[in-house]
Amino acid sequence: MNEGQGKMKEHIPSGLRVILAGGGTGGHLFPGLAIGREIVHRYKGSEVLFVTGRRKIESDILINSEFRQSAICIEGLMKRGLIKGLMVISMFPFSLLQSIFIIRRLSPDIVIGVGGYSAGPVCLAARLMRVATAIHEQNSFPGLTNRLLCRVVDRVFISFEQSRNFFPGGNIIFTGNPIRRELLEKQEDNHRDREKFTVLITGGSQGASATNSAVIDALGVMSGRKGRLLLIHQTGEADYLRVKDAYEGSGFQYEVTPFIKDIAFAYHQADIVVARAGATTISELAALGKPSILIPFPYAANDHQLTNARMLSDIGGAEIILQADLNGERLAALLMKYMDDRDALKYMGEQVLRAGRPNAVNKIMDQLEDMVGR
């Protein structure tokens, strides 16, 4: 037992005080939300604070949650160049000081890093202040922040067994990737139009321009099917107007939005999902048994999105289109294939369900409860 854990066992309040640190993308924040909601579900009166950077996407995601947010002055280091990189490094002492003030103000029982650059100073400050710490890694190839933090924090939770090989140290525990409670709750199907083949298109919380363009081109190829299709399309802010203009007057039934707030409803409507292959998306598809066409982001570190996607495609649970091969004709061909062959679609859903880890958040909670002596 480390000193931080020993200190925590001296006084255990009825609720927990927890800091969840990290962000940058929805892929980091959504698992954090799943953990936060499980904490307040199990321990009434708990206080959960998210500490993030200052990106708009972080605020947009958290403003729709029930949790408070504090922001620190920190930016990512990757692909910054020498001058910008030195400027980012020079910000670290100030972000560490900010983190110390936040921790002192909340006096948390535990600090959990969920990936992204803002987890670094917060978890380091917690360690210096003898507060118990853990990190969760969503991806098959760990991000730089978590690779640096693994020897600093008390426990490292991983979503894929393959991740273990990329950590240079630490107490590493395989848990899976936590899924938001609302995704797993049963949804009424009365709203479903069974005559419509429903396609959910999402490029992640920030959208994917290449995917958006391929879908626009696919509309022309599928024009003969427009009466049988419903497309639910999350475009991201940057591409919203372009994509919306393409749908208008197309004759297709569609719902287009920069960001889908009720993603649980959208998932449950969908017959098939067109998506990037971020770890959170992969985990959600598997937990829900949703067939998918995956378009891995080609510039992800160590091509980890392709690795993620192959975990589903290798068991027959997904189709993969590399971005270099992506076009409207190829995407439309796959969509029409599964529109016409519902048995193949059903098989894909059954296969992908085999990879699901719906109890991941419970495994993480068991570890956290052990750390705080519950």
Q: What is the pLDDT of residue 78?
A: 59
Same fold, 3-178+358-371 and 184-353: yes
Sequence ranges of the domains in the chain = 3-178+358-371, 184-353
Which one, of 70, 149, 136, lies nearest residue 104 by Cα? 70
Which one, of 302, 275, 277, lies nearest residue 143 by Cα? 302
Local structure of 325: helix, strand or coil = helix
CA atoms of 18 and 371, how far apart (whole Å): 12
Q: What is the pLDDT of residue 313?
A: 96
Q: Could you tell me the CA-to-CA distances from 54 to 25, 57, 133, 341 in Å, in that order?
A: 12, 9, 23, 46
Which one, of 280, 139, 285, lies nearest residue 200 by Cα? 285
DSSP line for 195-219 = TSEEEEEE--TT--HHHHHHHHHHH
CA atoms of 359 and 225, how far apart (whole Å): 39
Which one, of 315, 267, 317, 269, lies nearest residue 292 by Cα? 317
Angle between helices 209-221 and 240-247 in degrees, nearest 10: 10
Beginning with the edge strand found earlier in the chain, give each strand of the sheet holding 318-320 in spatial order.
Answer: 253-257, 229-234, 197-202, 272-275, 292-294, 318-320
> 69: how many CB neighbours lie within 10 A of its CB?
17
Q: Could you tell me the CA-to-CA distances from 207 to 150, 212, 229, 292, 306 in Å, in that order?
A: 30, 8, 21, 17, 18
CA atoms of 12 and 14, how far apart (whole Å): 7
If one looks up domain 184-353 in CATH, what number appears? 3.40.50.2000
DSSP line for 97-154 = HHHHHHHHHH--SEEEE-SSTTHHHHHHHHHHTT-EEEEEE-SSS--HHHHHHTTTSS
The length of the chain is 374
For residues 167, 61, 293, 143, the Cα torsion angle rounded to the nearest 10 degrees is: -10
**Residue 34 corresponds to which tokens in the numbers above?**
């799943």
Bridge partners (DSSP) of residue 318 are 292
The CATH homologous superfamily of the domain defined by 3-178+358-371? Glycogen Phosphorylase B; (3.40.50.2000)
- Which pTM value belongs to this model? 0.82
Please give the chain's pLDDT, 374 residues, in tens. Answer: 444 444 444 444 479 999 999 987 778 899 999 999 999 999 999 999 999 988 887 888 888 788 999 999 887 655 556 676 677 677 889 999 999 999 999 999 999 999 888 999 999 999 999 999 999 999 888 988 999 999 999 999 999 988 999 999 999 999 999 998 888 876 655 455 667 999 999 987 677 999 999 999 999 999 999 999 999 999 999 999 999 999 998 999 999 999 898 889 999 999 999 999 998 899 999 999 999 999 999 988 788 899 999 999 999 999 999 999 999 999 999 999 999 999 999 999 999 999 899 899 999 999 999 999 87
CA atoms of 117 and 144, how far apart (whole Å): 8
